[in-house]
Amino acid sequence: MLFRRKNVEPSETTGENAIANLEVAGLSQRQIVFKRFVHHRAAMISLFTLIFAIAFVFSSLDNTLFFFHYHGWWHYGFTDTPDLALCKNGSIGCPTINVNPFSGHFGLGDHPFGQDNIGHDYFALVMRGAQRSLLVTFIIGAIAGTIGTVVGSIAGFYRGTVDNVLMRFVDFLITIPSIIIGSVVGYHFGNLGITFLAFYLGLFTWTGLSRLVRGEFLSLREREFVDAARVAGASNRRIIFKHILPNAVGVIIVSVTLLMSSAILLETALSYLGFGVIAPDVSLGLLISNYQDAFTTRPWLFWYPGLFIVMIALTINFIGDGLRDAFDPRQRRRITKKDRQEATRIKKERESLS
């Protein structure tokens, strides 16, 4: 008996499994994913931070978005050249931001991020650069996510010759470093604007996602519910869109978020090398590239673009991490004392109703 007790699997109605089951009892799969995601503290903080950053950046300057022109709340544009301000140490264009509430000059000042060599307000330049970089990130994510999902799902579902042809093409693209592809694309299409550059980059950054989707489809197409749909007479189109794709959406969403975070780093690297955004437009990588010679004398010209690059990349990564935990049923968050008390309360309520 002792030997048999040691090999008995823990019951789903006892211990931490019972707490987890009570927590999601009666909820649909969509509600379970949403509940797990909102309980991921880092992901929620990152989500609100990213939303605030997007609203802050795009509302700061005059801009045209989807043929709709609006005026920003900042009093300088990224092309304005006010008079250069002198610093106390004799240099030019020092930041005027002051975060000490006990000083007499608390606030943003006239040029919170300072000025560049010509006199452009650096706050306006950073806001414009963040707008361009965010636009590149979301365009690449949308295009690469769509192409990678379509190619991976077709290869994984039909297998055979179709799979071999598509995957050999993907293998060929993977062998070419993304920075080289981006440099060639940026050299030929960088002068067409940031939207065209992001579009062409999205055409070459979907390969990793397609392999993940293919593996997920290869696994799901052999499951019992797919066999049941075939026996019931469902077409391949219905099996793909109604049965397999909804079960693979977790892998797709998580992979797209990670792809978006790498997209902003790719755009930054290309702009730094001179193959990305071309003046007079700006991006965060181009700002760092333009003022790399001033690192020792005016380091704030690197702080603010670098801060926005790191913030955007980290927030998207944390959001992807939260989505991965939410969609993966094997991921269980840490059971706290509050969770145990809530589970006990729910259990007592059910016993009293029964």
Phi/psi of residue 254, each to 5°?
-65, -45
Distance of alpha carbon 331 from its chain centroid, rounded?
20
Q: What is the pLDDT of residues 261-280, one digit of tens each?
A: 888 888 888 888 878 777 77
DSSP 116: -
DSSP, collapsed to helix, strand or coil, labels residue 198 as helix
- Confidence band of 348 (pLDDT split at 50, 70, 90): confident
DSSP per position, 228-252: HHHHTT--HHHIIIIIIHHHHHHHH
DSSP, collapsed to helix, strand or coil, labels residue 334 as coil
Mean pLDDT confidence for 144-163? 92
Domains, the chain: 28-63+74-78+129-332 (1.10.3720.10)
Indicate the burial class of 171 (C-beta count within 10 angstroms; 0-12, 13-18, 19 or more). Answer: exposed
Longest dimension (CA), the chain: 88
User: Does the global pTM surpass 0.85?
Assistant: no
Quote the CA–CA distance of 151 and 178 in Å, as a whole number. 19
Burial annotation 289-312 (CB, 10 A radius, 16+ → b, else e)? bbbeebeeebebbeebbbebbeeb
- CA contacts within 13 A on the Cβ side of 222: 6
Q: Give percent of the chain with pLDDT exceeding 70.
A: 82
Q: What is the pLDDT of residues 56-92, one digit of tens each?
A: 999 888 877 667 777 888 888 888 888 777 776 667 7
Quote the CA–CA distance of 69 and 54 in Å, as a whole number. 17
Q: Which of 20-24, 161-165, 199-203, 274-278 has the lowest mean pLDDT?
A: 20-24
Indicate the burial class of 273 (C-beta count within 10 angstroms; 0-12, 13-18, 19 or more). Answer: middle
